Structure 1
Amino acid sequence: MNNTPELTPDTESAAGPRTLRRGLQVLNTLREHGPAGLSVTALARATGLQRPTIYRLLAALIDSGLVGNVGHSKLFVAKLDAPPAPPASQDPRIEPTLPAMRRLAQATGDAVFLVVHDGHESISLWREIGPYPVQILATYAGKRQPLGVGSGGMALLAALPDPEVERIIECNSSELELYGGMTAREMRRLVENTRMRGYSVVGNHAVRGALGVGCALLDRRGKPLLAISVTAITERMPAQRQREIAGLIRTELSGLVLK
């Protein structure tokens, strides 16, 4: 049984313009601020919108080419003011993973993400959207967040040595509560669970109402190279499906040849 609420014609007619107005509000706020850029927190303060709403609107604006990042920072600018940045497709890890991600998106129906590790953060390099009508677009190309708050980042974090895991958690501890009330203690528990399962399961932290499953690709020394995750609404992710999706991701990762 699908418990996802359906939009009626009346709610659609109300939701569409409201979302458009909010998107334009975010875009205009960025344009008014100029090339220095604004963080999600600053945007929420300036517009009165909640952070999850800001993230969703930014994802759509970035996909439309209207908003960009200031370099590799957490600041966002209206595209006309943004400094030119090389496209994410220049990253050599994207091209060999694209066929695998597209197969996973079709097989699961859900959104698939390519995530890599950079210091104490994860970076989303790419996403593929599946055919299921309700998609959780938890992140977008270029988005950075504390390593481990998403399922792809958690798969990467859990593959690191214990001292590095602890250093990263401590480094990010002041930011974790911004992600659905995540704590350092919870992060450590998720690392242990990921190692026991062999894949990560992270729900309701980076995006409320979402649950993601992620697996990391390791090199011969056991160092994580990248992770692929699948995210869907929680109702679509019972434990059995989590295991099935993890199996699909592992199969695709086992066939990857990076340049």
Structure 2
Amino acid sequence: MPTSPAPKDTPEAAIGTGTGGVPRLFAVIRALTEVQAEGGRVTQLARTVGLTQATTHRLLQSLMAEGMVEQDERSKLYRLSIDFFALAAKAGNAGDLRSLCRPVLLRLCASLGDSIFLLVRSGFDAVCLDRSEGPFPIRSFTGDVGGRIALGVGQGSLAILAFLPEAEREEVIRFNLSRVREYGVYDEVYLRTEIERVRQAGYAARNTGLLEGMAGVAVPICDREGRAVAALSVGTIADRLNPDRLPTVVELLKREAAAVGPKIHPFDPSLRRPSQSLAGSAATQRIPAPG
């Protein structure tokens, strides 16, 4: 005798013993993309996809078993995993941001004769994903590849912070304010004034004196949605970034950033877990603040 199809919300339908379960799995995946930054609870996801909590939990467990979803042990929140994004990036046949920007860094370094940095956001920090060394000895906040600095300190991280969506920007400011104060010249008024100046100018360039004799200028790299995910930054000695030369440097940086932005793969793992794209143990080292 023919068997009846599984009821809409039975365990068999939830897990997906046939094609009927596939849409539900993808519904959960789509729901997770909407809460990827903060993570989602079973109750929240169940409401979004229109299933019971028990069924949604079984779907999440199935996705976790395949490595596509991860759960934070402390908060119990669910997120799409790094394996999911890596799989999507591989399927899209797109180079990661570091590979995409490597020719850009080399080109800018040759054109300007200065050190060029690629920074990406990592939570409340900016991480140096790559750099191309110029002929002048310089010091930078992030140091070598893998170095970190609080968003808001240094031109590259300030360029990223300034062009984050407003809600994210406010969250970062609240979290990082005590951290940036450790540098001695920052307070909330100053930081917000700098952010507004960067937003109006479209770039960050000011010698704060935190690194004596050093100067920098940076522009954000925005993805297809206009969200700042990275920055191109020039680090050089202060004399080389005078008012006459600055517009030329800014124009070159903006041109390269504008060309890279549309090519960024939306599932690039290096933008979600920068340390996965860094070579060596430097990825986990924190660079101390300049003395």
TM-score by length of 2: 0.54
User: 1:135 maps to what in 2?
Assistant: 138
User: 1:38 maps to what in 2?
Assistant: none
Q: Secondary structure at the match of 2:186?
A: coil
The equivalent position to 2:156 in structure 1, one of 152, 169, 179, is 152
Measured after TM superposition, the shift of residue 234 of structure 1 is 1.5
User: 1:27 maps to what in 2?
Assistant: none
Q: Which has the higher contact order (CA 8 A, sep 6+)?
A: 2
Matching of residue 258 in structure 1 with residue 226 in structure 2: no
In the TM superposition, what whole-angstrom CA distance separates every residue of 1:66-113 from its partner, at most 9, and x where no partner exists? xxxxxxxxxxxxxxxxxxxxxxxxx92111101110111111111110
User: 2:234 maps to what in 1?
Assistant: 230
Q: Secondary structure at the match of 1:100?
A: helix
Cα separation, partners in 2 of 1:206 and 1:146, compared to 1, 3 Å = farther
Q: 2:190 and 2:171 mapped to 1: Cα distance?
A: 15
The equivalent position to 1:113 in structure 2, one of 109, 114, 117, is 117
Q: Which runs of 5+ in 1 are unaligned?
A: 1-90
Measured after TM superposition, the shift of residue 161 of structure 1 is 2.3
In the TM superposition, what whole-angstrom CA distance separates every residue of 1:178-213 from its partner, at most 9, and x where no partner exists? 335222221111111111111111423653322211
Measured after TM superposition, the shift of residue 220 of structure 1 is 2.3
Matching of residue 175 in structure 1 with residue 189 in structure 2: no
Cα separation, partners in 2 of 1:157 and 1:137, compared to 1, 3 Å = closer
Q: Give the conservation status (yes or no) of the 8 Å contact 1:110–1:232.
A: yes
User: 1:192 maps to what in 2?
Assistant: 196
User: 1:12 maps to what in 2?
Assistant: none
Q: 1:253 and 1:222 mapped to 2: Cα distance?
A: 12
1:58-137 paired onto structure 2 within 5 Å: 92-131=96-135, 133-137=136-140
Q: Give the conservation status (yes or no) of the 8 Å contact 2:223–2:264.
A: no
In the TM superposition, what whole-angstrom CA distance separates every residue of 1:2-45 from its partner, at most 9, and x where no partner exists? xxxxxxxxxxxxxxxxxxxxxxxxxxxxxxxxxxxxxxxxxxxx
Q: 2:224 and 2:99 mapped to 1: Cα distance?
A: 21
Q: 1:205 and 1:166 mapped to 2: Cα distance?
A: 26
In the TM superposition, what whole-angstrom CA distance separates every residue of 1:141-196 from its partner, at most 9, and x where no partner exists? 11111102111111111111233222211211111123352222211111111111
Compare 181-190 and 103-112 and name the one that shifted more.
181-190
Between the aligned residues of both structures, percent identity stands at 30
Measured after TM superposition, the shift of residue 214 of structure 1 is 0.6
Cα separation, partners in 2 of 1:111 and 1:206, compared to 1, 3 Å = farther
Measured after TM superposition, the shift of residue 246 of structure 1 is 1.1
Amino acid corresponding to residue 264 of structure 2 in structure 1:
L
Q: Secondary structure at the match of 1:212?
A: strand
User: 1:242 maps to what in 2?
Assistant: 246
Cα separation, partners in 2 of 1:183 and 1:209, compared to 1, 3 Å = farther
User: 1:49 maps to what in 2?
Assistant: none
TM-score by length of 1: 0.60
The equivalent position to 2:222 in structure 1, one of 194, 218, 222, is 218
Compare 248-257 and 203-212 and name the one that shifted more.
203-212
User: 1:165 maps to what in 2?
Assistant: 169
Q: 2:137 and 2:121 mapped to 1: Cα distance?
A: 28
User: 2:68 maps to what in 1?
Assistant: none
Amino acid corresponding to residue 127 of structure 1 in structure 2:
R
Measured after TM superposition, the shift of residue 218 of structure 1 is 1.1
Which structure has the larger Rg? 2
Q: Give the conservation status (yes or no) of the 8 Å contact 1:182–1:205.
A: no
